[in-house]
Amino acid sequence: MIVDCAVYRHGHRTEGPEDLSDALDEARAVGGFVWIGLYEPSEREFDLVTQEFGLHRLAVEDALKAHQRPKLEVYDDSLFMVLKPVVYDAEHDTVSAGEIMIFVGDCFVVTVRHGVESPLAGVRHRLEAEPEMLDKGPTAVLYAIADAVVDHYLDVASELQADLEELETEVFQPERGGSRHTASRIYTFKRQVLEFRRCTHPLMVPLTRLAGTGPLGTGVPFVHDKARPFFRDVGDHLLRVNESVEALDRLVSDILAAHLAQMSVRQNDDMRKISAWAAMAAVPTMIAGVYGMNFDHMPELHWFWSYPAVILLMAALEVLLYRLFKARGWL
């Protein structure tokens, strides 16, 4: 359950306590903070952490059940934030979302991870290499995690944009105009964009509160005032991501509409071609049908050149119809 546990003092890591119940007391004794990382803990396993750090039961319930929207909750003794990191599998065109729950107090950080790979290990290593940043306390950890998640959003948005350009090229190929499975691929891609949007769009409100730029941004506890510009920077990056997601959603909808329009135009062209060939086949069929009747008094019945004349008439009519349909673009 416990991925990592360490006490940080003046930005430097010290050995974590052997007993989790001593972690908070030790952090307060040295004037630092404790950072505990958990992975998909059970309710029984999480009870000790809940009791030791005094976490609110509603936040604990959210952390255990997961499947939460990105949000920020303020409780008496802690701050609770939900982030949703994403991983894009370009081979299978799927967006997978995980969850990171962060509890922030005056001298502790508890992170709970669910689902796909997360940047927490990289964030911890990067912060430990920057003692000046880590010396800012739990606020620095909260900022670093949010920054890593949002920066990865930018990478995913770029990968989606590249795949969408390939899909767009396939749809607008002059010789093909997309295969019969293109509509299914476009719809699947739109579902992935929607899944990505569910992770990025709701995060703007929590970051706005942390940055202090909105009506709810003032008075957020456990966040140092000097850290607000950093959260504003993360918010700017998230704004770029949301704009990219909106553009992707609109563009994929336009591509789907264009593909369906192309399919309709091709079907109309096919029907016109079929109608034109059917009309051309109907003329000799009609003439042959008339001359196939058993009448004694048929025009030119006993004329020597009647047969080649009728054949020549049918050929002339076929050429006339072909040129007429060709001129109108039906063939």
Check which CATH number belongs to the domain holding 275 and give it. 1.20.58.340
- The pLDDT value recorded for residue 180 is 61
The Cα 144–Cα 128 span in angstroms is: 11
- Answer yes or no: do 250 and 161 share one domain: yes
Query: By the 8 A CB rule, do 11 and 131 touch?
Result: yes
pLDDT digits (tens, 9 = 90+) for 96-134: 899 999 999 988 999 999 987 677 888 889 998 998 888
Question: Looking at 263, 285, 301, which one is the last position of a domain?
Answer: 263
- Answer yes or no: do 296 and 243 share one domain: no
- Answer yes or no: do 241 and 290 share one domain: no
- Answer yes or no: do 237 and 283 share one domain: no
Three-state DSSP at 270 gives: helix
Token couple for 162:
């590249």
- Answer yes or no: do 81 and 11 share one domain: yes
- Answer yes or no: do 203 and 304 share one domain: no
Question: Looking at 240, 263, 286, which one is the last position of a domain?
Answer: 263
Query: By the 8 A CB rule, do 26 and 107 touch?
Result: no
The Cα 43–Cα 41 span in angstroms is: 7
Token couple for 192:
């992935």
- The pLDDT value recorded for residue 147 is 94
- Answer yes or no: do 225 and 308 share one domain: no
- Answer yes or no: do 106 and 29 share one domain: yes
- Answer yes or no: do 273 and 206 share one domain: no
What separation in angstroms does the CA of 31 have from each of 36, 108, 137, 167, 309?
17, 11, 10, 55, 112
- The pLDDT value recorded for residue 330 is 65
Query: By the 8 A CB rule, do 208 and 214 touch?
Result: yes
- Answer yes or no: do 138 and 251 share one domain: yes
Is the dihedral angle over the CA atoms 156, 99, 238, 69 positive or is it negative?
Answer: positive
| pTM of the shown model | 0.76
The CATH number linked to 114 is 3.30.460.20
Helix axes 204-211, 228-291, angle to 10 degrees: 160
What separation in angstroms does the CA of 207 have from each of 129, 275, 277, 312?
25, 62, 65, 83
Q: What is the DSSP letter of 15?
A: P
Question: Which of 90, 115, 122 is CA-nearest to residue 101?
Answer: 115
Residue 311: domain span: 267-327
The Cα 116–Cα 125 span in angstroms is: 19
- Answer yes or no: do 21 and 80 share one domain: yes
For the chain, residues with pLDDT lower than 70 are 1, 16-19, 21, 117, 174-180, 213-219, 287, 289-304, 306-307, 330-331
Question: Looking at 263, 282, 300, which one is the last position of a domain?
Answer: 263
- Answer yes or no: do 140 and 162 share one domain: yes
The domain total for the chain is 2
What separation in angstroms does the CA of 319 have from each of 284, 289, 314?
12, 20, 9
- The pLDDT value recorded for residue 81 is 95
- The pLDDT value recorded for residue 115 is 82
